[in-house]
Each structure stands twice: as C-alpha cells, then as structure tokens.
Amino acid sequence: MNTYKQIYETVKRVPYGKVATYGQIANLTGMQRKARVVGYALFRVAPDADVPWHRVINAKGEISESPFREGNDYLQRSLLESEGVEFNQSGRVNFKQCQWQPNPEEFPQFEIPSI
C-alpha cells in the first residue's frame, strides 16, 4: 500500500473530538520517527477531503503553523473547536482529555504508547 494512503487510512480512524500527533500516526503506520512524512502527506490533503487532517497536531499539543497553508491554520483550529476540542491560552490542547487512544487490537503489529 502507498505510504500516503496508509497515513490517510490511519488518520480516518481518529474519532470526532479527538486528536493524534504526527508521531503517533507515523508509529501506527509503521514509520517510527517519520512524523514529518505524515506532515507532508497531510499538507497535500484538500481541506474538504474525507480525511480528517485537522485532527493531527504536533507533539506539543499545538497546531503546526505554516505560511504555505494559506489560512488553513485558523481553519484547523476552528474545525477542532467545532468538535469540542479546547485550546488553552497558549494555544495547546490537553492530551489527557482529547488525545486518541486507539484500540491495540486495531493495530496489533505496532506498539501503542500510552500517554
């Protein structure tokens, strides 16, 4: 399966109102330490695609801002807030409240770290 397609299929599993990190998605697709590849793949997704790209954030709990997104940084936060994800004054989410914890049975071939 194509690497980007694997990433997209994993991101589609992130539930409404939850977030995952780029590194978490990389690990779940068998690409340990390749969080940037996940970022590149999600950058290519159209904002209205069926891949919930907006549910993937950085390991600090922030939206990774980019001048190349042409306003999608704000869109990402807006979409997450519409799903009930809250940001603190520093622009970070509380991982204990909203980080996706996938069922290990869904990804038996990979070790799923807990928060």
Segment 9-67, tens digit of pLDDT: 999 999 999 999 999 999 999 898 999 999 999 989 987 899 999 999 999 999 987 76
| CA angle in degrees (0–180, nearest 5) for 23-64-108 | 20
Whether residue 114 lies inside any domain: the answer is no
10 three-state secondary structure: helix
Q: pTM score > 0.85 for this model?
A: yes
Phi, psi of 88 (to 5 degrees): -80, -175
pLDDT of res. 78: 93
Residue 62 included in any domain: yes
> Does 110 map to a domain?
no
* Helix or strand (DSSP H, E) at 78: helix 72-82
The three-point CA angle 54-98-48 to 5° equals 15
> Does the residue 23 lie in any domain?
yes
CATH number at residue 71: 1.10.10.10
At residue 51, the pLDDT reads 96
How far apart are alpha carbons 58 and 15 in whole angstroms?
Answer: 17
Number of domains present in the structure of the chain: 1
Q: What pLDDT was estimated at residue 15?
A: 97
Which range of residues forms the domain containing residue 89?
3-105
